[in-house]
Amino acid sequence: MLWSPASGSDHAPLVLMAHSGGQHKRAPGILGRAHRFVTGCGFHVAAIDAPGHGDRPRTAADEQHIAVLRQAQAAGEPISPVIVRLHIDLAARAVLEWQATLNALQQLPEIGANGPVGFWGIMQGTGIGVPLTAVEPRITAAVFGCLGHESLTEAAAAITVPIEFLLQWDDEHVERQSGLALFDAFASTDKTLHANAGGHFEVLRFEAGSAAQFFARHLGRDAGA
Amino acid sequence: MLWSPASGSDHAPLVLMAHSGGQHKRAPGILGRAHRFVTGCGFHVAAIDAPGHGDRPRTAADEQHIAVLRQAQAAGEPISPVIVRLHIDLAARAVLEWQATLNALQQLPEIGANGPVGFWGIMQGTGIGVPLTAVEPRITAAVFGCLGHESLTEAAAAITVPIEFLLQWDDEHVERQSGLALFDAFASTDKTLHANAGGHFEVLRFEAGSAAQFFARHLGRDAGA
């Protein structure tokens, strides 16, 4: 999916949006924020389905991950170790897909090869986005969050671009100290943590406005705020 | 000091601003934010000198605190225990002064007795503001930060109004875990932590805009964001 402003979008900044686990490129959490970034900031926004998500067929490995995840949930076991393995497997495929997507997007005349690029993705979007941003110098600002440091510390330590990181203070799926450790691991000298009271699925709507302001500050267009 | 919008300020929300240690009611950190709250949000803003600060004479106790603080600094000792004792002593006087100030402000026809009231104060402003907000039901939203939980946990646990809390991730004077513990201690179900990379005196300018938006959300006027 590529959304662009109705006018004045030539060489506007581009924001890549990665959805959460079990979601897809047109999920409400993507659509609402994409709308805000496009109409409020004048950005291009692109979203793709993660491997095994949305319109994409599932591989045997995808089916296996889902089976293990459902088993852990049914047994009331912690799902965090399953999620960590799932994200590692997804990222191994999705990082290359995002780089190919970015190559294709930058061939479009209205985007071009030299415009600023941001990345937005929380939860599974962070599990894919941190390894991606660590190896992709075209991404110059990123919003991550709602995920812990397990398996991501090394990639985070390779990231130096400005970061806004969301954390749910009462997250029932992500240990608070693990989320704080991931924020701590980013090598970026310009990084901001937004921690809000509430559970894993209670990320507040006004953080979309904050993300828009963050991208406007760092990708170079005024968010009107 | 009372700053008000040039027009349309009748019964507008009121924000009380408490300065940091060694500062005063007209310090640049107060003036800049007050200007933003007044012109950007249409609020009234009031600031007073803390005991022994600004235009106010110092008591023997104030002089004693300063001497102990300078001694600790000269000896390269941790100043945190001195600051904790100083804040306790200041708050014992300043809470009553702020309540008297609020009584006087609410007698003014342009403010009135029923308008919403917010509190803004970081560092020493938090050392005074947390005990104040804990006992002052007229304050319905507060911005605090850059201070640890020592001696403030009990008062924080009595606060249930929305809180925005600033923390400097690399604060050389406030232990990170102590700041996180103070944020955790607030009983508020609506609370947001903004942690930014940087030292104690490097609080970022854009947080003033975030505070304006926070007060606009909770005191009932749009910040124009």
* pLDDT tens readout for residues B131-167: 999 999 999 999 999 999 889 999 999 999 999 999 9
Residue B181, pLDDT > 80, answer yes
Question: Is residue B47 included in any domain, yes or no?
Answer: yes
Query: Residue A175: its pLDDT value, please?
Result: 93
Query: Which residue does chain B place closest to A222, by CA atoms?
Result: B225
In a domain, A179, yes or no: yes
Mean pLDDT of A148-161: 95
What average pLDDT does range A184-211 have in this prediction?
A: 94
Higher pLDDT, A45 or B173: A45
Chain B contact for A197, CB < 8 A? yes
Supply the DSSP string of chain B, one letter for each residue: -EE--SSS-TT--EEEEEPPTT--TT-HHHHHHHHHHHHHH--EEEEEPPTTSTTSPPPHHHHHHHHHHHHHHHTT---HHHHHHHHHHHHHHHHHHHHHHHHHHHTSTTT-SSS-EEEE--THHHHHHHHHHHH-TTEEEEEEES---TTTHHHHHT--S-EEEEEETT-SSS-HHHHHHHHHH---SSEEEEEESS-TT---THHHHHHHHHHHHHHSS----
Instruction: Verify whether the Cβ–Cβ distance A193 to B225 is below 8 Å.
Output: no
Q: Is A47 in a helix, a strand, or coil?
A: strand
The reported pLDDT for the residue numbered A184 is: 98
At B69, list the tokens: 């603080």
pLDDT band with cut points at 50, 70 and 90 for residue A79: confident
Model confidence band, residue B221 (pLDDT cutoffs 50, 70, 90): low
Quote the tokens at residue A102.
């970015």
- Judge whether B136 lies within some domain: yes
pLDDT at res. B78: 86
Is B98's pLDDT higher than 50?
yes
Residue A82 maps to a domain? no
Distance of CA B196 to the CA centre of its chain: 18
Q: Report whether pLDDT(A78) > 90.
A: no
Mean pLDDT of A176-195: 97
Who among A192, A206, A210 is closest to B195 (CB)? Answer: A192
What's the domain range around B153? 2-219
A36 touching B (Cβ < 8 Å):
no
Contacts of B193 in chain A (CB under 8 A): 167, 169, 193-196
Q: How many CB atoms lie within 10 A of CB A91?
A: 23
Q: Does residue B225 form part of some domain?
A: no
Instruction: Provide the β-strand partners of residue B193.
Output: A195, B165
pLDDT bracket for residue A213 (50, 70, 90): very high
The CB density around residue A56, as the number of other CB atoms within 10 Å, is 15
Per-residue pLDDT, averaged over A70-98, amounts to: 93
Instruction: Say whether A197 and B194 touch across the interface (CB within 8 A).
Output: no
Query: Is the pLDDT at B225 greater than 50, yes or no?
Result: no
Minimal CA separation from B176 to chain A, in Å: 11
Task: Identify the band that residue A224 occupies on the pLDDT scale cut at 50, 70 and 90.
Answer: very low
Range with lowest mean pLDDT among A65-74, A214-223, B52-61 = A214-223
Residue A130: half-sphere exposure toward Cβ, Cα within 13 Å: 30
CB pairs A-B closer than 8 Å: 54
Measured at the alpha carbon of residue A144, what is the angle toward residues A142 and A146, in degrees to the nearest 5?
175
Q: pLDDT, tens digit, for every residue of B15-46? A: 999 999 999 999 999 999 999 999 999 999 99
CB atoms B195 and A197 under 8 Å: no
In terms of DSSP bridges, do strands B191-196 and B163-168 run parallel, antiparallel, or are they unpaired? parallel
Question: Is B224 part of any domain?
Answer: no
pTM of the model: 0.91
B74 pLDDT band, cuts 50/70/90, is very high
Q: How confident is the model at residue A221 (pLDDT cuts 50, 70, 90)?
A: low
A209 vs B193, B196, B225: nearest CB: B225
The per-residue pLDDT for A43 is 96
Contact B14, B47 (CB under 8 A): no
Average pLDDT, chain A: 94
The answer as to whether A224 is a domain residue is no
> Could you tell me if residue A84 is inside a domain?
no
Domain of A107: which CATH number?
3.40.50.1820
Question: A100 vs A93, A96, A113, CA distance in Å?
Answer: 11, 6, 13
Lowest mean pLDDT among A86-90, A178-182, B75-79: B75-79
Contact B168, B196 (CB under 8 A): yes
CA distance A169 to A166: 10
- State mean pLDDT over A59-64: 92
How many structural domains comprise chain B? 1
A8 falls in which pLDDT band (50, 70, 90)? confident
- Average pLDDT of the residues of chain B: 94
Mean pLDDT value across residues B98-126: 96
Q: Give the closest of B169, B192, B209 to A196, CB-based.
A: B192
Single-letter amino acid code for the residue at A146? C
Q: What distance in Å separates the CA atoms of residue A137 and residue A116, rounded to the nearest whole number?
A: 11
